[in-house]
Amino acid sequence: MRIDNPINRHLLDRNMSQTHLAQALGLTRNWLNHVIHGRQKAWGTRYRISRFLGVPIEDLWPDPDNGETPRASGARASKPER
């Protein structure tokens, strides 16, 4: 396992592989790998990985939009009340 991201470091500390994590979460290893490397932004899966490892999600995916749920297209923010 390459130690090129925070999740793999946490797995190594626990003597686990991505395969073990995928099995523990009921996911395929392929899907898990896509989520870990950001090819899929599956917020529910990211949350489950974070909870399983006991690590804040922003420590696992330190990108600026990791905690924001994308707004539906065409949705507008409400105007502030005066």
Alpha carbon 29 to chain centroid, angstroms: 14
* pLDDT at residue number 63: 65
- pLDDT for 67: 47
Band of pLDDT at residue 4, cut at 50, 70 and 90? confident
Give the DSSP letter of residue 3.
-
6-60 folds as: 434 Repressor (Amino-terminal Domain) (1.10.260)
C-alpha distances in angstroms, 25 versus 1, 6, 18, 62?
A: 19, 18, 10, 22
